[in-house]
Structure 1
């Protein structure tokens, strides 16, 4: 397979004075480079995942690193034979990952960053708890061996779980992890604020751990937010930990239910995928709004009034990325 495209995953907590003006200019910059994907812009920084030809992604990364605000971005780069997205969305939001913890600035205080090798060396110690801060549908298809997982549908529910964690693990060293590192920035900071003393985070998340440590002891697949849905990260001792939602056979094939009203994220084997026409239940299969199933179980998000060419007529000839 000729892998002509790069897939970038990144974030950066850094002040952006005028998020809407930045959004327009940055969107145009991505259009110039033929990049597709999703970027969230806020006063606290950027959160992005993009795909494009390798040379275009290289130009994007170089331009971002040339800007002092984004010089510290640690891009996680994977490769593919095609785009991982069908559209480009650049949006402004209150936070770059929805947590409700607007008062927390990870640049002021957060958990100690561990390189993948350091995380690997610490994770099995008796005085350590490895904490998965992702949502339940993410860790259902893959998580670190012996990790503590949380019953949450969205990261914004994380603060509600901290008292329960404190009762069980306050005297332990807490090693947090997520897909690319962004959730851990605020999760680990909040744990420190709530009285935990030894808090760490896996720098670069599961993706970087797979690249630099072979993904050892990460069981299952890593859920990702593009049309790949879930990816392999463990090349050392891979396992499958999830089972088909329909027939309960071993399966790590993640599917969004074809019924958009449900949209449940669950493992469904290929056989059941076709038999259920992409639905997670008979009720969803018969729902009048059910989407056509193409065998992937991945559906592009609705535009919801978003105008991808907003600001195009005001395009500047220079510094369109800043």
Structure 2
């Protein structure tokens, strides 16, 4: 059984090139596969390997004070879901192309999975406001599943979200809008940018769909969550759609 991890952390990185080289060496030494993205705004990674190897890699990474608080979402598979290891130096760890959208010194308010499930159970937030779930993923991902009744947008790329959302903004003005994505990274940028752009009623779902699955399960979610590897999608028990025996 292999351990699969997804993690990201927004933090200023002034040695991004050197860090990418160092992380590649560490991952190769541990026989890990997956993708590691390094940018001046932070780190984004999807990796799979043995429990011990992943543990050692994370321990080494967290020894760097910048990543001491790195939050990881974990699942398991029988087969290796990645063909190889890719470590890339990028301009953004998730491409949005909006100035000041990276939450380096501040972030949008978040709602925990438990609190969101409570709001959905009761049909409103703690102040009695309508709750609207905003899916920030693209149409291919949405096709595998989403929260029941969520607002989904006909986009193919994350950079198109602000324009696609524009026609809906007036209708959402009196609601509490909770943005969500796979693991939280797109919500971090989208929610912060939207609040700066005047939508001060936008929150982000802490940990994204995968964090919700881990802590709440599948309540109010329909289908699976698309993931970016050969498992294709995970159900609320974090079981893969495709998981051939190793």
Q: Same fold (TM over 0.5)?
A: yes
Distance 1:234 1:32 in 2: 31
For each residue in 1:115-174, what CA deviation from the matched residue of structure 2 results, as whole angstroms up to 9, or x when unmatched? 210121124315211111000100111000111001100111112124223222122111
Higher relative contact order (CA 8 A, sep 6+): 2
Query: Which among 149, 152, 156 is matched to residue 153 of structure 1?
Result: 156
Does the CA contact (< 8 Å) of 1:171 and 1:196 recur in 2? Answer: no
Counterpart of 1:90 (choices 76, 87, 91) is 87
Q: Deviations over 1:86-105 (max 9, x none)?
A: 10000011100011124223
Aligned structure 1 segments of 4 or more residues deviating by more than 3 angstroms = none
2-side partners of 1:133 and 1:113: how far apart? 15
Matched, 1:133 2:136: yes
User: Within 2, Cα distance between the matches of 1:110 and 1:174?
Assistant: 16
Q: Is the 8 A contact 1:110 1:192 kept in 2?
A: no
The residue that corresponds to 1:184 in the other structure is: 187
CA distance in 2, matches of 1:234, 1:166: 34
Aligned to 1:58: 55
Within the alignment, does 1:41 sit opposite 2:44 as a pair? no
Match of 1:221 in 2: 224
For the residues of structure 1 that align with 2:113 and 2:147, how far apart are their CA atoms? 13
Q: Distance in 2 between matches of 1:157 and 1:174?
A: 18
Aligned 1:1-322 pairs, distance under 5 A: 3=1, 5-123=2-120, 124-125=123-124, 126-233=129-236
Structure 1-normalised TM-score? 0.70
Q: State the superposition RMSD in angstroms.
A: 1.9
Number of residue-to-residue matches in the alignment: 236
> Is the contact between residue 153 and residue 165 of structure 2 (CA under 8 Å) also seen in structure 1?
no
| Structure 2, unpaired ranges of 5+ | none
**Does the Cα contact within 8 Å between 2:101 and 2:190 map onto a contact in 1?**
no
CA displacement at 1:76 relative to structure 2 = 0.2
